């Protein structure tokens, strides 16, 4: 469960349950869903593990592909 703020959504992506940390009701809702919905919690766990399998080499490769696409657009 993460705050919907800063870089957290970018880093965790769909592998987290988000809430507004300034809203007690929203924190309660997000926490309750993770605790009571086993399928949802298992999916978050699986997605989190998938995200941790990425290496810095994977990230660099993604950036290189993006740069190549941008360069090709300007030609």
Summarize pLDDT for 6-65 with one digit per residue, the tens: 888 888 899 999 999 999 999 999 999 999 999 999 999 999 998 888 788 988 999 999
Q: Tell me what pLDDT residue 5 has.
A: 86
Q: Which helix (H) or strand (E) holds 19?
A: strand 18-19
Q: Tell me what pLDDT residue 52 has.
A: 83
Q: Which long-range contacts (CB under 8 A, 24 or more apart) does 44-51 make?
A: 44/15, 44/16, 44/17, 47/13, 47/14, 47/15, 48/12, 48/15, 48/16, 50/15, 51/12, 51/13, 51/15
Please give the structure tokens belonging to residue 55.
Answer: 């290496």
Domain count for the chain, please give it: 1
């Amino acid at each position: 469960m993460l705050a919907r703020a800063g870089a957290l959504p970018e880093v965790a992506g769909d592998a987290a349950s988000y809430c507004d940390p300034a809203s007690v009701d929203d924190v309660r809702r997000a926490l309750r869903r993770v605790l009571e919905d086993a399928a949802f919690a298992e999916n978050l766990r699986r997605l989190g593990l998938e995200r941790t399998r990425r290496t810095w080499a994977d990230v660099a490769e993604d950036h290189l592909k993006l740069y190549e696409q941008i360069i090709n657009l300007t030609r």
